[in-house]
Amino acid sequence: MLDFKENFLIFFLYSLKKIRVGREKIKNKEQPPHYLMRPEVYYLLSQSQNSLVDSIYKNGAGKKGFVCWFTGLPSAGKTTVAQKVFEILKDRNMLVEMLDGDDVRQSLAKDLGFSRQDRDENIKRISFVSKLLSKNGVGVIASFVSPYKSQRDEVRSRTENFIEIFCAAPLEVCEKRDAKGLYAKARRGEIKNFTGVSDPYENPESPEIILETHKETVEESVKKVIQHLEEKFKHVQS
Ligand SMILES: Nc1ncnc2c1ncn2[C@@H]1O[C@H](COP(=O)(O)OP(=O)(O)OP(=O)(O)O)[C@@H](O)[C@H]1O
Ligand SMILES: [Mg+2]
């Protein structure tokens, strides 16, 4: 028969082990076991604005990073929809970052052109940044033509929670929009390797989301993306 002291020691050691297990879980962005913290409490804490809680659960920890990857022909509506999604998530105090083709071509990929090799290198660099961000709990909103399936699959395999969003407006619509006047230049032969005109675009085979940006309004497209995120991630609630 164990005496009181021995019972107490066993209980104490058992509690320490439980706390260690709980800490590990939180560190791995998983919910601690129910006997340590009720799910409602964990959820409330992980959503709280309290600065102490923030340092534990926010700044990445406790949140799932993801990559919303908008792909499609030039002028298909990638940037337009991505920008609005980004603003909505930011307004919800989420950790988000936007990576857009035009900005990246002016900075991270300034030295690259539009040959197949350079396009692959461009996506490799973006993939590297997206991987770092998503791994640390950031929601990445990325908008790139990314015409080749192999490029998109590579990003999918390297990043956390990759969501492929196909802006499916057909060539005729995109060319008519010609938001930057580049189709006209490409048709006049002033730009080489222009996707849709003199370079291929491989349609995604099974994207998570298809946006029919030629049939729906910008608001409808944005809503589709936000709804998908809300269903998939608890921390994207409004
Ligand atoms: N439903 C829609 N979704 C998105 N854009 C739309 C939609 N309807 C019309 N548009 C218009 O289409 C144009 C799309 O331009 P945008 O710059 O977003 O394309 P993009 O795919 O980012 O092109 P690029 O690859 O050249 O950067 C904008 O002028 C936008 O207002
Ligand atoms: Mg764009």
In the prediction, which pLDDT does 38 show?
Answer: 77
Residue after which a domain boundary falls, among 57, 75, 93: 57
Strand order in the sheet with 66-71: 96-100, 139-143, 66-71, 162-167, 209-211
Residues, Cβ < 5 Å to ion ligand 2: 78-79
Residue 43 shares a structural domain with residue 74 = no
Residues involved in catalysis:
146
Residue 128 shares a structural domain with residue 41 = no
The closest alpha carbon to 73, from 209, 172, 217, 191, belongs to: 172
Residue 52 shares a structural domain with residue 23 = yes
Residue 107 shares a structural domain with residue 150 = yes
Residue 17 shares a structural domain with residue 126 = no
Average pLDDT, the chain: 88
In the prediction, which pLDDT does 60 show?
Answer: 43
User: Which ligand ends up closest to the CA of 165?
Assistant: 1
In the prediction, which pLDDT does 39 show?
Answer: 76
Q: What is the CATH classification number for the domain harbouring 207?
A: 3.40.50.300
In the prediction, which pLDDT does 10 show?
Answer: 65
Q: Look-up: residue for tokens 């949140």?
A: 63
Q: Which domain, by its residues, includes 12?
A: 4-57
In the prediction, which pLDDT does 51 show?
Answer: 53
Residue 75 shares a structural domain with residue 155 = yes
Residue 200 shares a structural domain with residue 165 = yes
Residue 102 shares a structural domain with residue 27 = no
In the prediction, which pLDDT does 46 show?
Answer: 67
181 C-beta closer than 6 A to ligand 1: no
The overall pTM is greater than 0.85: no
The closest alpha carbon to 139, from 212, 232, 206, belongs to: 232
In the prediction, which pLDDT does 23 show?
Answer: 64
Residue 48 shares a structural domain with residue 122 = no
Residue 23 shares a structural domain with residue 118 = no
* Separation between Cα atoms, residue 31 and residue 46, nearest integer Å: 10
Residue 129 shares a structural domain with residue 212 = yes
- Domains held by the chain: number: 2
Residue 122 shares a structural domain with residue 174 = yes
In the prediction, which pLDDT does 30 show?
Answer: 72
In the prediction, which pLDDT does 207 show?
Answer: 98
* Separation between Cα atoms, residue 21 and residue 23, nearest integer Å: 6
Ligand 1, atom 12, lies closest to the CA of 77
Q: Which residues of the chain have pLDDT under 50?
A: 58-61
72 C-beta closer than 6 A to ligand 1: yes
